[in-house]
Structure 1
Amino acid sequence: MGRTKSGGGGSSNSSLSPSSGETNALSTTSAAETRLKELLKELYHLIHEVQEERARGEHNLTNISKTHERMQQEQRITPYYKNKLRGLYNTAMQDAEAEAELLRRSLDKIGEIKAIRDNRKHDSERPKPIMRRGVLMTMLQQNAVTLPLWVSKPGEKPPPLCGAVAADSNYIAKQSDKVAARVRSSDGEENWILAEVTVFSQATNKYDVDDIDAEEGKERHTLSKRRVMPLPIWKANPETDPEALFPKGQLVLALYPQTTCFYRALIHEPPKKPQDDYSVLFEDTSYPDGYSPPLMVAQRYVIICKEDKKK
C-alpha cells in the first residue's frame, strides 16, 4: 500500500502514519470481510434448511404414492381416501412453496456474496491484468451459465432485468456491473461493446465504463446514460414466464459468439427450457437473405434493440 509523500520540514512520523484515505480503505475492507463471513454463514444454514425441507417434502410425496397404491389395490375411492389425499396434496404444495422461498433467499445471499467479491476485486490498487482471449471467453460463458433463474411466486410478474423485461427508466447500473455500451472508435464508427461500470455521476448523468476486452490504458469511456444498456440480472423461465422472453422475429442486440461486441439480430427461436439459449440470426450482407445461419446466444447477452429493423 502506498504512503503519502512527506513535506520537506515535517516530522518523519507523519510519513509512517496511514493517511485518512488509507484508513478509510482499511475500514471498508474490514467491514466487507466481516459482512462476507456473515453471509457465508447464513448461506450455509439456509442450504441445510433447504435439505431438511426437501426431506420433509419427499416423505409426504411417499405417503401420497402409497395412498394411491392402496386405492388401486382396493379399486375404489372412499371419502376417507379423498380427504386424506386432499390433505396430503395441500401439505405438498406448502412444502414446495417453503422450499422455493428458502431457495430464493439462498440466491439473494449468493448475489450479495458475489457483489462484495466483485467490488473487492474492483477496489484493488493493483493494475488490471490483461486477460488472455480464451480465458475471457470462458469467463463470459460462465457468467451466462451462472446467471440466476427467476422463480416467480404464484401470480407474481417477472421484475425488470429478468430476461427481456427492460430496466426501469431511473435504473442506475452499479459498480462492476456488465453492460452494453455504445462507443465511438478512432475512425468514427460506433459499436455496442461489452463493458464494466466503474462509476455513475449523478451530476453529469454519465457513466465511466471499461471495455472488457481492451488493452490496458485504452479501455475507459465516459458515456451518457442513453448509451449504456444494463444486461439481464436474471434468466427468465420459459416454462413459467414465457412473456419475459423475446419472441420469434424480434429485433435484438446480441453478443456475437467468441467476441465482445453486440450486433443486430433477429430471434430465430426463443429458449424452450430454463437452461436453453436463444437461437438468433445476425444481420450479415455476405448471405443472400442478409442474415447468418442460426447461432446460439445466452439470455445474459441478448438485449432490446431500439433501432428500426433494416430495410
Structure 2
Amino acid sequence: MALVSADSRIAELLAELQRLLGHTQEERSRSEHNLINIQKTHERMQTENKISPYYRTKLRGLYTTAKADAEAECNHSDALCSILRKALDKIAEIKSLLEERRIAAKIAGIYSDAEPPRKTMRRGVLMTLLQQSAMTLPLWIGKPGDKRHTLSRRRVIPLPQWKANPETDPEALFQREQLVLALYPQTTCFYRALIHAPPQRPQDDYSVLFEDTSYADGYSPPLNVAQRYVVACKETKKK
C-alpha cells in the first residue's frame, strides 16, 4: 500500500509541477510576441532601405506596448518568484518520495526489471554520484532582503538545502579565508579548510585550501568542492 500511495502522490506532484511550469512559461512569453514583431519590422525597414510614415507609426505603437509589457513584468516579478519557489518545492518532494519508494521496495524485496537490486558500488562510482547529487541542489530564489536561516548545530551539521546564486545573493556564500568544513575530493570525509575563492556563478564550485601539514604553509593547493559539501566550522582559524 505504501508503494501505491507514493506512486499516486508522485503523479499528483508531477501534474502540479506541469501546471506551475505552464504559468512560468506564460509569464516569460508575455512580451515575447511583441518583441519579435519589433525585430521583424526593423528587418523589413533594412530590406526596403527606407523609413516610411507607416513604419514610424507601427514602431511607435510596438515600443509603447513593449514599455507597458516591461512595466507589467516588473510588477509580476514577485509572482514569478513565488511560482518558481513552489516548482522547486514540488521537485524536492518528488525526489524525496522516489527515494522513500526505492527504500520501501528494497525492504519489501520488490524490484522491477528496470531497477534490479543494487550491488556494492565501486569507490569511483560513489564519488561520481556524490558530485551529481551536488549538481542537483536546487537554487534558492529569494526576495530582496531575505537572509539565510542558520539551524542549531550543537549535535548535527546539516548540509545546505539550497544553492546560493553569487550574482543575486553573494552574502549567503562563505567568503575568502573563512574557515569551513569541506568534503575532500574522492572521499566521503569532511576536513577543515579555508575558502580560497567563493563561486562566481551558480554552477561554480568553491575553491578551498585543506589543512595539510605535508605542505610548508600548512595548506594544500586549491581544490574545488561543490556548494553542497561546504559547511561552517565553529572552531577558530589556526594562527
TM-score, length-normalised on structure 2?
A: 0.78
Mapped pair 1:152 → 2:126: no
C-alpha distance in 2, partners of 1:68/1:253? 56
| Aligned residue number for residue 34 of structure 1 | 8
Aligned counterparts, 1:204-283, within 5 A: 226-283=154-211
Which residue matches 1:206?
none
2:32 is aligned with 1:43: no
Secondary structure at the counterpart of residue 154 of structure 2: helix
Residue identity matched to 2:211: E
Which residue does 2:112 correspond to in 1? none
**CA displacement at 1:63 relative to structure 2:** 6.5
* Contact in 1 for aligned 2:84/2:141 (Cα 8 Å): no
Higher relative contact order (CA 8 A, sep 6+): 2
Aligned pairs, how many?
A: 218
- Find out whether 1:286 has 2:214 as its counterpart: yes
Q: Which moved more, 1:49-58 or 1:290-299?
A: 49-58
Listed one character per residue, the Cα deviations across residues 224-269 of structure 1 (whole Å, up to 9, x for unaligned) are x734211001001111111100010100000001110000000000
> How far does residue 293 in structure 1 lie from its aligned partner after superposition?
0.6
Shift of the 291–53 alpha-carbon distance from structure 1 to 2, 3 Å rule, reads same
1:37 shift after superposition = 1.1
Greater mean deviation of Cα atoms: 53-62 or 261-270: 53-62
Q: Deviation of residue 31 (structure 1)?
A: 2.0
Report % sequence identity: 58
Q: CA deviation at 1:147?
A: 0.4
Amino acid of the residue matched to residue 142 of structure 1? Q
Distance 1:245 1:253, change over 3 A: same
- Post-superposition CA distance 1:68-117 (Å, at most 9, x none): 999xx799xxx999976652321232455544433222211101101111
Q: In 2, Cα distance between the equivalents of 1:31 and 1:244?
A: 37
The answer to whether structure 1 residue 295 and structure 2 residue 223 are counterparts is yes
TM-score, with length taken from structure 1: 0.61
- Which one is further off, 80-89 or 244-253? 80-89
Give structure 1 regions of 4+ aligned residues with deviation exceeding 6 angstroms: 63-70, 79-83
Q: Within the alignment, does 1:132 sit opposite 2:122 as a pair?
A: yes
The AA in structure 2 aligned to 1:149 is: L
Closer/same/farther in 2, CA of residues 88 and 45 from structure 1, 3 Å limit? closer
Which residue pairs with 2:89 in the alignment? 108
CA contact (8 A) 1:238 1:274 kept: yes
Of 91, 98, 101 in structure 2, the residue corresponding to residue 120 of structure 1 is 101
Quote the Cα distance in structure 2 between the aligned partners of 1:250 and 1:68: 52
**Contact persistence 1:39–1:109 (CA under 8 A):** yes
Residue 258 of structure 1 aligns to which amino acid in structure 2? Q
List gaps (5 residues or longer) in structure 2.
Answer: 46-50, 110-116
Alignment of 1:89 with 2:55, yes or no, is: no
Secondary structure of 2:200's counterpart equals coil
Structure with greater strand percent: 1
Distance 2:223 2:32 in 1: 40
1:56 positional shift: 1.9
**The residue matched to 2:196 in structure 1 has which SS?**
strand
